[in-house]
Chain A
Amino acid sequence: MLKVDNINVYYGNIHAVKGITFEVRQGEIVTLIGANGAGKSTILNTISGQLRSKTGSIRFLDETISTLQPHKVLARGLSQVPEGRRVFLQMTVEENLEMGGYTRSAAENAASISDVYSRFPRLAERRRQVAGTLSGGEQQMLAMGRALMAKPRLMMLDEPSMGLAPLLVEQIFDIVKELHAAGTTILLVEQNAQMALSIADRAYVLETGRIVMEGEAAALLEDDKVRSAYLGE
């Protein structure tokens, strides 16, 4: 479904992503794990068209998307929940959701908004509040609901657990599993390797811009090197 082939991304002179190749197949949950600075977010931002790779290609549903602007990438059915949620703090919950459905018609959005509200009742309660007044967990729900408004085929989640209490982290991961069960393919970037590996089908381990390991998530969860480096054992 998504094929990333030999991408190299630079920030000025800093070589952040070094020859990364990986793929996400229809119906999977794939996770990219690794420490801070390994290049995980850079990869997602390159896929969504915010950054450019100097080499290689990115193909989604058998079409090259690595030359497209972000709004065109989204229109192909690939949406991203950015790191740090990035909800529009000065806009209301409902306006945030409307922005998520920007590429769709008002009628489609009305239906999607009620879907999002039934999935996240907390958001329905706060629909007229500005997003800046929401808690971290609620903002994460809003960010996910907002990304769902575009009815993505593949959803990329960047550190959804960041800064959340353990109970909320579980809740967010449950929602990811539900979205997956409802038919959305998921590409998940996480520092919380334990959680990510426990829900993913396959995983890629990144270190300083390179993939150092890949395989079935269940197998990686048992791997000694992974356990010592990422699961703190």
Chain B
Amino acid sequence: MAFLSTLFSQVINGLQSGSIYALVALGYSMVYGIIMLLNFAHGDIIMVGAYVVWMSTANFGFHPIVSILLAVVVSTTLGVVIEKVAYAPLRSSPRLSLLITAIGISFLLENGFQLIFGAGAKVVPDFLTGPSVHLGSATISFSAIVTIVVTVLMMAGLTFLVQKTKLGKAMRAVSEDMGAAQLMGINLNTTISFTFAMGSALAGVASVLYLSSYGQASPTMGSMLGLKAFVAAVLGGIGSLPGAMLGGFVIGMAEALVSAAGLSVWKDGVVFAILIIVLLVKPTGLMGKPMTEKV
């Protein structure tokens, strides 16, 4: 029985961290789908969101709802600004220049925050508190419930947006054929900004959910989280939104099960082993479509 309840709580842990990976992976996949960029600065947007929560709760004593909204607004704005300032001027440059720029932005954010706030972690007081649920001997924490529910709602909302709304359809059109989309009268700049806004807003939400379980912000927190979400996006098939969701949950679950088996020091290793296996066996990922290079 003890084993079962450990397993159960690890499954919940897996769903909880998987939710966060999935939200971050969605941002990777959306941006890759539209401008073929692996946006390595994406993880650092989460870090910035986390610092916003820390500042507004610990320093200014804002109501949690206000700090959550602030985190999402700042992350969204930051994502859009990064695209406009750093990526848009490179739109007709080789993809490698774009990738190097993304890595540069990532370093800039990490080291900039380290310079301003110091390298140490900032403790964020509990701001998402509520009743936990008891199932037999197992407990599901309030933050786990919130994380999983919010993530599912976000995914449903995003799916609706991409499938049914005018801007969402424009996003799909641009990601399939940028030239033809322009001929339809679709404004590329608007559509790309919108994509970055959506991806970064999800990152903002992810930062809040991350803090609700780990409770601290540090300048480098985004890099490992971002890398694992990147693995999730590749596992699901980069560019595929359902793939990113699935990939996030699989990665979270894999980590949790490795921990449940008492091998938690191997957690990160397992995630990157998954990346290597995917790249060797099925580089297009679980739900990705085989890609042909555009001529």
Instruction: Give the distance in Å from the alpha carbon of A50 to the alpha carbon of B176 in the complex.
Output: 17
Q: Is the CB of B176 within 8 A of A71?
A: no
Asked if A103 is an interface residue, CB under 8 A from chain B, the answer is yes
Nearest-CB residue, chain A, relative to B176: A88
Q: Is the CB of B185 within 8 A of A89?
A: no
Instruction: Give the distance in Å from the alpha carbon of A71 to the alpha carbon of B187 in the complex.
Output: 6
Q: Is the CB of B184 within 8 A of A102?
A: yes
Give the interface residue-count category, chain A: 20 to 34
Of A87, A91, A99, A106, most buried by chain B (CB within 10 Å of CB) is A99
Which of the residues A50, A71, A82, A86 comes within 8 Å of B185, measured between beta carbons? A71
Chain B nearest Cβ from A124, distance in angstroms:
20
Which of the residues A69, A87, A88 comes within 8 Å of B172, measured between beta carbons? A88
Q: Is the CB of B182 within 8 A of A71?
A: yes
Number of A-B contacts (CB under 8 A): 64
Instruction: Give the distance in Å from the alpha carbon of A146 to the alpha carbon of B182 in the complex.
Output: 13
Asked if A70 is an interface residue, CB under 8 A from chain B, the answer is yes
Q: Is the CB of A100 within 8 A of B184?
A: yes
Chain B nearest Cβ from A144, distance in angstroms:
13
Asked if A64 is an interface residue, CB under 8 A from chain B, the answer is no
Chain B nearest Cβ from A161, distance in angstroms:
19
Q: Is the CB of B176 within 8 A of A82?
A: no
Asked if A159 is an interface residue, CB under 8 A from chain B, the answer is no
Collect the chain B residues with CB atoms within 8 Å of residue A75's CB.
185
Give B148-183 as 1s and 0s: 1 = Cβ < 8 Å from A's Cβ atoms.
Answer: 000000000000000000100110110011011111
Nearest-CB residue, chain A, relative to B169: A95
Instruction: Give the distance in Å from the alpha carbon of A79 to the alpha carbon of B186 in the complex.
Output: 12
Chain A nearest Cβ from B162, distance in angstroms:
11
Collect the chain B residues with CB atoms within 8 Å of residue A80's CB.
183
Which of the residues B180, B187, B188 comes within 8 Å of A86, measured between beta carbons? B180
Asked if A190 is an interface residue, CB under 8 A from chain B, the answer is no
Q: Is the CB of B172 within 8 A of A102?
A: no
Of B176, B179, B183, B187, most buried by chain A (CB within 10 Å of CB) is B183
Collect the chain B residues with CB atoms within 8 Å of residue A30's CB.
none
Q: Supply 6 further A-B pairs (C-beta < 8 A) apart from A71-B188, A82-B179, A99-B186.
A: A49-B182, A82-B183, A87-B180, A88-B172, A90-B176, A95-B169
Q: Return 27 A-B CB contacts under 8 Å, by A number.
A: A49-B182, A69-B187, A70-B182, A70-B183, A70-B185, A71-B187, A74-B183, A74-B184, A79-B183, A86-B177, A86-B180, A86-B183, A87-B180, A88-B172, A88-B173, A88-B177, A88-B181, A89-B176, A90-B289, A95-B169, A98-B166, A99-B169, A99-B173, A102-B185, A102-B186, A103-B185, A146-B184
Q: Give A contacts to B, CB under 8 Å.
A: 48-50, 69-71, 74-75, 79-80, 82, 86-91, 95, 98-100, 102-103, 106, 146, 150
Q: Give B contacts to A, CB under 8 Å.
A: 166, 169-170, 172-173, 176-177, 179-188, 289
